[in-house]
Amino acid sequence: MKDSSRLIGGRYQILREIAAGGMGTVYEAKHNLSQKTVALKVLHPHVARDDASRQRFLREVSAPAQIGHPGICDVYDAGFDTQDGSIFIAMELLEGETLRSALERGSPRLDQLYDIFDQLLDSLAAAHAKGIVHRDLKPENVFLTTKRDGSVGVKLVDFGIVTDGDADDEGRNVTQAGTAMGTPRYMSPEQATNARDVNAASDVWAVGVMLYEALAGEVPFDGPSPTVVVVHVITSSHRPLQGLAPTAPPALVALVDRCLSKKPEDRPADAGALRAELRRARAQTGTGAGIAPRAAPPRTREFSNTTGPMTPAATAPSPVPAGPTGATPPSFAASASSKEPTHGGGGLKWILLGGGGLLAILGLGALTLGVLFATGAFSDSTGQVRIQSNVVSGEIFVDGASRGPLTMGRILELPVGPRQMEARIAGAVVAQAAVEVLGGELVDVDLSSVNQRIPGLLGPGDDRTEDGKYVDRYQFVWRAGQNVHIEVVGNGLDTYLYVRFPDGSMHENDDADGLDAGFDFTVPSPGTYEIMASTYSPGESGPYELVVRAL
């Protein structure tokens, strides 16, 4: 912690530390002349020396002033501390709690949900009208206060990685092509692959994720690591919201589904358009007494925002001080006690490299490792291996240890020498190869396979079809002309098989004369084929084996 006896920037006295992160620390501080209390965000000196970090920091200063909306956390001052070289900004010190903290206690009443998101979208619409895209919307960056009349007030915070539609070339260079920036669980597919050219539709996606989370008690895309989450965001469909929140109004559910469309043009164009549609949904359904989402099954979340820049509003200690009228922060009606709190961190936001370099977390390993080699971060004791595979939903193992999701073109950095590589699905080895890793060089390894036997289990916690059947989903990439046999062997379980072709057409088989479902076909065109293993009747559960082999 900084010495509280000296003045930061010659004018701010530190009162206490609120929170700290990899990029900086947030303090409660007081201006020495005006005696105004502020949230003082101080960038670490070594981070402040990085050009890209300074530009992002300056954008956090300028964006609220450009937008000029009362629902945006105000910035009062910024400067450079000559004593240690750090950069600081003085911001509005908010009293209340984040939307994240509120959601962890339970779901909001429907009228509260509409009020919160209406205010949020009003602020965001003002930003979009100025050509400013937030790019890091999440519950941690939505702050709830109590107004004088006792109603909920909403403040939008943390504009550190905004894009400005009027930025000059220097400003645009803050984000390099091919770089994904933001928080994986809330990033749109286009932002996850290339953050440079995102527009207001990406913020609409993030609002859709938050609405989904408020209604269902879980995010639409999750996983044990940021990379896995990004893969799901890009390639998977979200679980139907109506099944997770059966009491949610259909008009609201349909709007959330639109916000989570993979194609930006299929979503509401910007926050203003989304706010108008949200109000129409509210008019159709009324405000209601509350929402009763289905409790989310327990799941392990293994990553958190331990190195990211901190937001003063998002890190207020508990208990939170009362507002000007002595009112406590607004509370939500708690849902079922078995409801699991959603994750606290939202994923790693930044990775700091040696020498003060700053690298945004990437969904594509090839881009990450390419940058690392370019900066000289790897020595001749390591080399690169590029994956070639037709297995989409698998996992890579190197010398028996998991290295994350298996995706076509992914590049791994590995120690030199002989390595044994495997592609696994649900623990089953579906392809393997031996490779010699060469220092400072890139080699290709083929982990493709048609012949695969994958054990599975259908039951509670799986996705469901529209008629209530449990279903597991798999994806494979095949070449045109391949002859393929697919079978779901249930060992007494009456199975059902669906195959979705790249053109969207669906083929299905239940083998009316037996219990095991099978399908033989010649691959008509190259692309990704989705196989869905299910049962003949809704509610059936049990183990099975998915068999895929060449004919």
Following DSSP, what letter does each residue of 45-94 receive, concatenated? HHHHTSHHHHHHHHHHHHHHHHH--TTB--EEEEEE-TTT--EEEEE---
Banded model confidence at residue 57, pLDDT cuts 50, 70, 90: low
Q: Give the domain range for residue 157.
A: 97-315
**pLDDT value of residue 441:** 83
Q: What residues are annotated to the active site?
A: 136
Final residue belonging to a domain, choices 47, 62, 91: 91
Residues 6+ apart with CB under 8 A from 190: 197, 198, 201, 202, 264
Percent of the chain scoring above 90 in pLDDT: 20
pLDDT at 341 over 60: no
Q: Are residues 11 and 78 in the same domain?
A: yes
Instruction: Please state the rounded mean pLDDT for residues 499-514.
Output: 81
Of 202-211, 224-233, 503-512, 533-542, highest mean pLDDT? 202-211
**pLDDT value of residue 163:** 52
Residue that wins the pLDDT comparison between 315 and 222: 222
Give Dmax (Cα) for the chain: 87
- How far is CA 178 from each of CA 26, 69, 249, 253, rounded to the nearest angstrom? 31, 32, 38, 32
Instruction: Please state the rounded mean pLDDT for residues 276-287.
Output: 83
**Residue 347, in any domain of the structure:** no
**Residue 343, in any domain of the structure:** no
Q: Are residues 404 and 471 in the same domain?
A: no
Cα–Cα dist 133/387, whole Å = 34
Cα–Cα dist 252/108, whole Å = 14
Banded model confidence at residue 287, pLDDT cuts 50, 70, 90: very low
Q: Are residues 265 and 173 in the same domain?
A: yes
Q: Are residues 535 and 505 in the same domain?
A: yes
Residue that wins the pLDDT comparison between 334 and 217: 217
**Residue 335, in any domain of the structure:** no
**pLDDT value of residue 77:** 85
Banded model confidence at residue 179, pLDDT cuts 50, 70, 90: very low
Q: Let me know: does 526 contact 479? Beta carbons within 8 Å.
A: yes
Q: Let me know: does 113 contact 293? Beta carbons within 8 Å.
A: no
CATH code at 139? 1.10.510.10
Instruction: Please state the rounded mean pLDDT for residues 169-191.
Output: 58
Q: Are residues 11 and 83 in the same domain?
A: yes
**Residue 256, in any domain of the structure:** yes
Following DSSP, what letter does each residue of 56-68 receive, concatenated? HHHHHHHHHHHH-
CATH code at 524? 2.60.120.380
pLDDT at 493 over 50: yes
Q: Are residues 426 and 541 in the same domain?
A: no
Residue that wins the pLDDT comparison between 145 and 68: 145
Of 106-110, 143-147, 164-168, 547-551, highest mean pLDDT? 143-147
pLDDT at 44 over 80: no
**Residue 495, in any domain of the structure:** yes
Final residue belonging to a domain, choices 91, 123, 140: 91
**pLDDT value of residue 53:** 61
Q: Are residues 166 and 255 in the same domain?
A: yes
Q: Are residues 22 and 140 in the same domain?
A: no
Q: Are residues 430 and 490 in the same domain?
A: no
**Residue 357, in any domain of the structure:** no
CATH code at 37? 3.30.200.20
Q: Are residues 64 and 81 in the same domain?
A: yes
Percent of the chain scoring above 70 in pLDDT: 70
Instruction: Please state the rounded mean pLDDT for residues 211-231.
Output: 87
**pLDDT value of residue 255:** 95
**pLDDT value of residue 30:** 93
Q: Are residues 225 and 291 in the same domain?
A: yes
Strands 442-446 and 382-388: parallel
Q: Which of 62-76, 142-156, 331-345, 444-458 has the lowest mean pLDDT?
A: 331-345
**Count of domains in the chain?**
4
**pLDDT value of residue 219:** 93
Instruction: Fill in the DSSP letter of residue 339.
Output: P
CATH code at 439? 2.60.40.1120
What single-letter amino acid sits at 469?
A: K
Q: Are residues 138 and 83 in the same domain?
A: no
Q: Which tens digits make up the pLDDT trace of 411-455?
A: 888 889 999 988 887 677 777 888 889 887 888 887 876 677 788
Instruction: Please state the rounded mean pLDDT for residues 207-233.
Output: 88
Q: What are phi and psi of 233, to 5 degrees?
A: -60, -40
pLDDT at 129 over 60: yes
Instruction: Please state the rounded mean pLDDT for residues 511-530.
Output: 81
CA 432 to chain centre: 31
pTM: 0.54
Banded model confidence at residue 348, pLDDT cuts 50, 70, 90: very low
**pLDDT value of residue 82:** 72
**Phi-psi domain of 440 (left: phi exceeds 0; alpha: psi -120 through 50; beta: other):** left
**Residue 341, in any domain of the structure:** no
Residue that wins the pLDDT comparison between 213 and 456: 213
**pLDDT value of residue 259:** 96
Banded model confidence at residue 230, pLDDT cuts 50, 70, 90: confident
**Residue 164, in any domain of the structure:** yes
Final residue belonging to a domain, choices 91, 109, 128: 91
Q: Which of 161-165, 230-234, 238-242 has the lowest mean pLDDT?
A: 161-165
Q: Which tens digits make up the pLDDT trace of 291-316?
A: 444 343 333 233 333 223 333 333 33
